[in-house]
Structure 1
Amino acid sequence: MPSAKSSSDALPPRERILVAAHALFYQEGIRATGVDRIIEQACVSKVTFYRQYPSKDELIRAYLEYRHGMWMSWFETSLRHALGQGESAAQALSTTLRGWFSRADFRGCAFLNAAAELGSSDPEILKVVRQHKQEMASVLDSLLTGDATPVGPALSLVIDGAIVHAQMGQPLDDVMDAFNATAAAVLQQ
């Protein structure tokens, strides 16, 4: 997945704040990242920050929308590329996930992390997370199963399990072996 921190200095303040928040929220956690740290990273004043995002909650929702757009674009492009290289549906999904899990900046699913951090205190976060997961399932159905029985929701569960195990530091080969076996079984339904 592409990094959001590319040439952010040339961006308008609102986008600089969003790019800084994206990097910090994903790498350090939403609750662990204070507004002052985002302001410093974005090189904006407090007045500018609050003019753009009147509350941290508003920034969190903007971060999740931003992350959703970036991640879904990357996910779909990566799957299409692997499928275009002649990989089976299971292989394409495995290639895509292995590439993501192998990144030095991988810290799990931003949406699962947000749900774990804030879901009990902010139902709107859970709504955003559910929408992200539903769209991921739709992409899986459209790219991997076509007119066959939809398996996107089942594959989403398998993917989320693999994400959690990879994030916990399980050996990547073990995670991918278990993922591949389970995904293949789901796709054969």
Structure 2
Amino acid sequence: MPSSSRRWQTTLANHGQRAELADYRAKPGAVKKLRDEVVPVLHHVKFVKAKGDIRFELSSDVPDCWLRDKPNAAPQGLEVTVAQSREQQRLGQEMNEKREWFRDISAYRTTPRKRFSRNAWRGLASCTVRKALKVIGNGIKSCLRKKDHPKYAGHDLLIEAPLHSLPNERWSRIEEDLRSVASTLPFREIHVISDHDRFPFGFRIK
């Protein structure tokens, strides 16, 4: 194959990959179901090391998908939602337009330490952690309030949240508060999962 033809195919492939990534970030149309339902479930299944079958409804029916660990087992319904979904979509659109990504709640990680004294650095990091816990925690609570309905009784709930913005151990600070809010919901179990592809992390709040 001539080298010019190979370069043209490579250019087309790269363009296709960029287009797919842009759609994944901005979540237009049918891609939203993939991004907001299929991907969080796959991250959850990977994190808990679940085995068995998954059936996605890909419709407006309740629940969003069904899980079962054996072919003859009764399927367990799983409803899926995303904390701060609008902010996530808006950020994706900005990333596509500007081709850059800046998340202020993790800015302190990339700030040169030499600009701060040790005490000032610790204060900045502590303030940023508190802000992230509050903002994302409120986003999770908002999801819980929206899903507080009898039609979900007996199903499980999975909430995707940007947990990778802080070290995993930091989330233990708000787990008890989230459990308190989740305790009155009709779901059998409620789990929170990160939106990280390579290293999913999560915790159960009911």
User: Which one has a bigger Cα radius of gyration?
Assistant: 2
Q: Which has the higher strand share?
A: 2
Q: Which has the higher helix share?
A: 1
Tell me the TM-score normalized by structure 2. Answer: 0.29
Tell me the TM-score normalized by structure 1. Answer: 0.31
Higher relative contact order (CA 8 A, sep 6+): 2
